[in-house]
Structures are given as structure tokens and as C-alpha cells.
Amino acid sequence: MPTPSMEDYIEQIYLLIEEKGYARVSDIAEALNVHPSSVTKMVQKLDKDEYLIYEKYRGLILTTKGKKIGKRLVYRHELLEQFMRIIGLNEAKIYDDVEGIEHHLSWEAIDRIGDLVQFFEEDKTRIEVLRAIQKVNEEQNQ
Ligand SMILES: [Mn+2]
């Protein structure tokens, strides 16, 4: 099982490859706001654990195992953003809150949140009902 930090790297590498076709150490460093030497170190560890293949001058590619987990990590992040949006969290807080919790939920919890997101998406009036409750609660808190 990858650690939270390994998950962040695999997730970003997967996204970069999806968006640009490749993931350079400098791009990963920028995306994760870390020093390139930290990226090199982590990439070597991910290579050793068979999530990717890293060749110093040729760049890196995800293995089948790396792609599979990368895809799930990106899905998890997007699902949690969708969940935060549904529950009415302020847009400015969504990214950081998802980054804060995503590594600490079980896959079972992710699946159940998936059910809940589906419940709201299938009938948008459900979101309106939730907003009405929130409006009342907010007024009471003032
Ligand atoms: Mn994330």
C-alpha cells in the first residue's frame, strides 16, 4: 500500500501524463510544490515499488500497477470534490479540504460517498432540499 505522500505523487504523475503525455521531475515538483530533489528521491522509491519506471534522461512511465492506482486516486479526488460541492462547501475551500482528507478514508467509505453523490445527482431537487435546510441553519446561526 502506498503512503499518503506516495499517493500524492502517483496521483500527480497520472494527471500530468493524462494532460501532457509525459511527467517531468520539474513539472511534478511544481505541481506538488516541493523541491526537485525530493521528487527524484520519491520517484526512485516508486520505481523500486514498481509503480513506475524511471530512467534519468528518458523520463518516467507508469507501470500497469501505477496506472491502475493512479486512475483510482484521481477518481477519488474528483469524487470528493463533487461531494464537497454537493454538501455546499465554499468553492475556495474545496481543493484544500479534499487534499486534507483523501488519504485517510477507506475505499469502502469512498464507495459509500459515491452512492451519496449519485443520490443527489439523480434528482437535483434533492440538492435544493439540502440547500433549504442549510439556509434555515445559517439563519439560526446568525
Ligand atoms: Mn489529490
Supply the mean pLDDT for the chain.
95
Q: Is 11 annotated as a binding residue?
A: yes
Work out the percent of the chain whose per-residue pLDDT is above 70.
Answer: 100
**Confidence class for position 3, pLDDT limits 50, 70, 90:** very high
User: pLDDT, tens digit, for every residue of 84-108?
Assistant: 999 999 999 999 999 999 999 999 9
- Tell me how far apart the alpha carbons of residues 29 and 40 are, in angstroms, rounded to a whole number: 9
Tell me, what's the pLDDT at 82? Answer: 98
Give the pLDDT band of residue 72 (cuts 50, 70, 90).
very high
Q: How far is the CA of 102 from the centre of ligand 1 (A)?
A: 7
Say whether pLDDT at 129 is over 80. Answer: yes
Confidence of residue 130 (pLDDT cuts 50, 70, 90): very high
Query: pTM for this one?
Result: 0.90
CA of 10 to the centre of ligand 1 (A): 10
Please give the pLDDT value at position 142: 79
Q: What pLDDT digit, counting tens, does each position of 25-61 carry? A: 999 999 999 999 999 999 999 999 999 999 877 789 9
Tell me what pLDDT residue 141 has. Answer: 85
123 CA from centroid of ligand 1 (Å):
27
Please give the distance, rounded to the nearest whole angstrom, from the Cα atom of residue 76 to the centre of ligand 1.
8
Query: What does the pLDDT read at residue 117?
Result: 98
CA separation, residue 25 to residues 5, 64, 87 (Å): 16, 20, 36
C-alpha cell at 140: 439560526
- Whether the CB-CB separation of 100 and 41 falls below 8 Å is answered with no
98 C-alpha vs ligand 1 centroid, how far in Å? 7
Cell numbers representing residue 13 in the block = 504523475
Q: State the cell numbers at 79.
A: 469524487
